[in-house]
């Protein structure tokens, strides 16, 4: 805005003296009338973008002359009006992230599903054997990891087998955790690790504790973990005592 103000001031001060090198344009006098200069100034002010941020002053001198300037009116002049630039429109508020909380629907006992069969045991016949005929999985100079089929079954083995049965069954859009836990084979006794005819299963008390937690409003995964492995509040006491 300040770049063309000197020229506008010169136009407002009176007619421009004619120059011998200038030609007449359409029969008009080369001196521009003051009112035409004021009109051009107002047009320039109205078309100037507000982003220029200039504040214009309309000043009237003692002899009645009116000038427009981006500076304060001079001493002795009367400030008739200050033209403030239009304020920039306020930016729209930034969209807030969604804070919607996903709430699980109330528990409802599911329909039974077909649990996929347990994959067959790995073929260990080609592995090297130790002195007792047990397959060696890994060994070094100081130790060997072997498969002992005659080792005593423990509660932790039953817990691992139950967890694998349920998690292998779960399939998105096909078999839910609730349906799989209810449908996996249940052990015929409360202590299946003492059963000579043991097969992978989940003790009946595990499903009962899981369903109780689900009815109380616990989410499926949280109820599954709390049932099998316990929580900090109950010091890790799950449905299968492993300590």
Most confidently modeled of 46-50, 115-119, 230-234? 115-119
Unique residue bearing structure tokens 């304060």? 72
pLDDT at 51 over 50: no
Give me 67's structure tokens.
Answer: 């000038």
Instruction: Give the C-alpha distances (Å, rounded to integers) separating 98 from 70, 92, 93, 102, 176.
Output: 48, 17, 15, 11, 27
Strand pairing partners for 136?
A: 146
Is the Cβ–Cβ distance between 234 and 149 less than 8 Å?
A: no
How far is the C-alpha of 219 from the C-alpha of 166, rounded, in Å?
Answer: 16
- Taking Cα atoms as reference points, which of 112, 202, 221 lies closest to residue 163? 202
Domain residue ranges of the chain, discontinuous segments joined by +:
5-16+33-83, 115-150, 152-229
**pLDDT, position 243:** 66
Over residues 203-222, mean pLDDT: 95
- pLDDT, tens only, 140-196: 878 888 887 777 889 999 999 999 999 999 998 899 999 999 999 999 998 999 998
Residue 35 pLDDT level (bands cut at 50, 70, 90): low
Chain mean pLDDT for the chain: 77
Over residues 123-147, mean pLDDT: 85
Angle between helices 204-215 and 220-229 (to 10 degrees): 140
Is the Cβ–Cβ distance between 61 and 67 less than 8 Å?
A: yes
**pLDDT, position 211:** 96
pTM above 0.85, yes or no: no
**pLDDT, position 177:** 96
Is the Cβ–Cβ distance between 154 and 193 less than 8 Å?
A: yes
Long-range pairs for 39-43: beta carbons < 8 A, 24 or more residues apart: 40/8, 40/11, 41/8, 41/11, 41/12, 41/68
Strand pairing partners for 145?
A: 138
Strand pairing partners for 78?
A: 60
Over residues 218-236, mean pLDDT: 85
Q: How many other CB atoms are there within 10 angstroms of residue 181's CB atom?
A: 26
Higher pLDDT, 45 or 242: 242
- pLDDT, tens only, 156-172: 999 999 999 999 999 98
User: Which phi and psi (to 5°) does residue 11 adopt?
Assistant: -65, -35
**pLDDT, position 40:** 52
Q: Is the dihedral of CA 206, 209, 213, 215 positive or negative?
A: positive
Give me 187's structure tokens.
Answer: 């052990």
Give me 90's structure tokens.
Answer: 């306020």
Residue 54 pLDDT level (bands cut at 50, 70, 90): low
Unique residue bearing structure tokens 């009962």? 208
- pLDDT, tens only, 58-93: 787 777 778 777 777 777 666 556 666 666 677 778
């Amino acid at each position: 805005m300040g770049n063309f103000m000197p020229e506008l001031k010169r136009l407002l001060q009176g007619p421009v003296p004619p120059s011998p090198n200038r030609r007449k344009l359409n029969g008009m006098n080369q001196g521009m009338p003051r009112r035409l200069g004021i009109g051009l100034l107002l047009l320039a002010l109205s078309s100037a973008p507000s982003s220029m941020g200039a504040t214009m002053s309309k000043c009237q001198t003692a002899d009645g002359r009116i000038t427009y300037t981006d500076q304060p009116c001079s001493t002795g002049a009367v400030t008739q009006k200050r033209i403030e630039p239009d304020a920039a429109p306020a930016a729209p508020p930034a969209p807030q992230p969604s804070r919607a909380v996903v709430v699980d629907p109330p528990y409802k006992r599911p329909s039974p599903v077909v649990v996929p069969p347990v994959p067959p045991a790995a073929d260990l016949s080609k592995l090297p054997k130790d002195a007792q005929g047990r397959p060696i999985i890994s060994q070094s100079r100081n130790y060997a990891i072997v498969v002992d089929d005659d080792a005593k079954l423990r509660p932790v083995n039953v817990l691992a087998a139950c967890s694998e049965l349920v998690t292998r069954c779960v399939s998105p859009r096909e078999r839910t955790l609730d349906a799989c836990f209810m449908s996996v084979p249940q052990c015929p006794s409360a202590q299946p690790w003492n059963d000579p005819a043991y097969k992978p299963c989940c003790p009946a008390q595990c499903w009962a504790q899981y369903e109780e937690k689900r009815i109380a409003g616990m989410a499926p995964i949280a109820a599954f973990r709390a049932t099998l492995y316990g929580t900090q509040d109950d010091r890790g006491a799950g449905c299968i005592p492993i300590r």
